[in-house]
Amino acid sequence: MMSILGFLLALVVGVFVAPILGGLITGLDRRITARIQSRLGPPILQPFYDVAKLLGKEKLLNNSWQAFCAYVYLVAAATSVVLFFMQSDLLLIFFVQAVGAVFLVIGAMSVPSPYSQIGAQRELIQVLTYEPLLVLVLAGIYVHTGTFKISGIYALEEPMLLKLPLLFLVLGYALTIKLRKSPFDISASAHAHQEIVRGVYTEFSGPYLAILEIAHFYEVILILGLVSLFWSTSFVGMLVLVALTYLAEILVDNVSSRMTWRWMVTSAWAVGLTLTLINLLSLTM
């Protein structure tokens, strides 16, 4: 049973430290992206400036339900991160973050703007694509450790990556889709500006966009936390694995162009399911 102190620590770290860390990582991401494109790039703190500016802008809405949805997305993302730091059930954490994903879509769909609608539909397809892969990765972790609890992973003697290398690749594939990085920046893109004018985010502005940004910071932390579990035995190993994975994500983001959702679904499922099958069978044999 977790002590009260541990609970409070997880709460504080989850609610306050995580978004700051997530923002810094996002800032780093933009900086590295700029360097890859031989530019200087914005300061590391840029995401915080963006959020602060957005918070100080006028409230502009199509309906109040939108505001509610943005807010639920934030709460769900924060809750899932807190649960993560409390070393709770991985499957549950995943379902809690799905609440956020669903509400983002519902919020975008509540505005009859074609841009936001198309963004929402595409976002749903992205969710459809990465969800089964993530569930299967978690199932693989269960087969390996005998539990869905994160504490079970920390009890392992050797890093999970050695036993689940293919599932780690699947995780990477799914996370690229979750983070909407190229070639999967289909529902809302940070780079190709004009096409769907930022898809699901089109109708969110000012403080409400800021809420979505903060929720995204939480999600980045959750995702990297998930990655870190694959080298749970040493802190340095964890950092190295997370850094390498994220760098790979940024690199892929920069060298690939956007693909269609059809390609995304078929390729992700074909590759993901095959790799999962091989890895799961090799575990259970």
Partner 1 sequence: MHSTLMFILIVLPFLAAIACAVVPVKQVRSAVVVVTGALLVVASLLLIGKVPFETSFTSMAGLPLASMTQLADFLLLGFVLFLGWKHKHLGIKILAGAQLVILFALEAFMMDHHAASMAFVADPLSLTLVLIISIVGSIICIHAIPYMDNHEHHLHLTISRQPRFFAWLVVLLGTMNALVLTNDLLAFYFFFELTTLCSYMLIGHDGTEEATNNSVRALYLGSMGGLALLLGAVFFQNMLGSLEIQEIIKLAPSAGYAMLPMALLCVAAFVKSAQAPFQSWLLGAMVAPTPTSALLHSSTMVKAGVYLVLRMAPGFVDTTLSTYVALFGAFTFLATALLAVSQSNAKRILAYSTVSNLGLIIACAGINTPAATAAALFLIIFHAVSKALLFLCVGTIEQRIESRDIEDMHGLFVRMPVTASLAVIGVLTMILPPFGMLMGKWMAIESAAANVPVIMMLALGSAITLLYWARWAGLLMSHPLQGGVTPEVQPKLTKYPLVALCGGAVLLSLLSPWIYSALIVPMIDMVNLANPQAMFEAPYVTSKGMLGADSGVFPVAPLFLVLIVGMFLGLRVLKNAQGAREASIYLAGAQSRTAQTPDSFVGPVNQPVKVANANYYLTRLLPEGKVTCWVNTAAVLLALLLVVGGL
Partner 2 sequence: MQAILDFIKSSRIKSPWLMHFDCGSCNGCDIETLACLTPVYDVERFGIVNVGNPKHADILIVSGTVNHRNKKVLANLYEQMPHPKVVVAIGACGLSGGVFREAPNVVGGIDKVIPVDAYVPGCPPKPEAIIDGVVLGLQKFAEKSLA
Residues found near partner 2 in the complex (CB under 8 A): 30, 34, 37-43, 46, 48-50, 52-53, 55-60, 115, 193-194, 197-198, 201-206, 209
Encoded tokens for 23: 């923002």
* 55, containing H or E segment: helix 46-55
Name the residue with tokens 């199932």: 139
Query: Binds 65, which of partner 2, partner 1, none (CB < 5 to 8 A, cut-off by type)?
Result: partner 1
Query: Binds 57, which of partner 1, partner 2, none (CB < 5 to 8 A, cut-off by type)?
Result: partner 2
Closest CA to 123 of 184, 206, 170, 171: 184
State yes or no: residue 240 binds partner 1 (CB under 8 A): no
* Cα–Cα dist 154/83, whole Å: 15
Encoded tokens for 284: 């259970």
Q: Is 56 helix (H, G, I), strand (E, B) or coil?
A: coil
Whether 221 contacts 82, CB under 8 Å: no
Select from 11-19, 66-74, 161-169, 228-236 the region that touches partner 1 (CB under 8 A): 66-74
Query: Binds 39, which of partner 2, partner 1, none (CB < 5 to 8 A, cut-off by type)?
Result: partner 2
Encoded tokens for 218: 């939480």
State yes or no: residue 142 binds partner 1 (CB under 8 A): yes
Q: Is 148 helix (H, G, I), strand (E, B) or coil?
A: coil
- Interface positions with partner 1 (CB under 8 A): 58-68, 71-72, 75, 79, 88-92, 95-96, 98-99, 102, 105-106, 108-117, 120-121, 124-125, 127-129, 131-133, 135-136, 138-139, 142-143, 146-149, 197, 202-203, 205, 262, 269, 273, 276-277, 280-281, 284
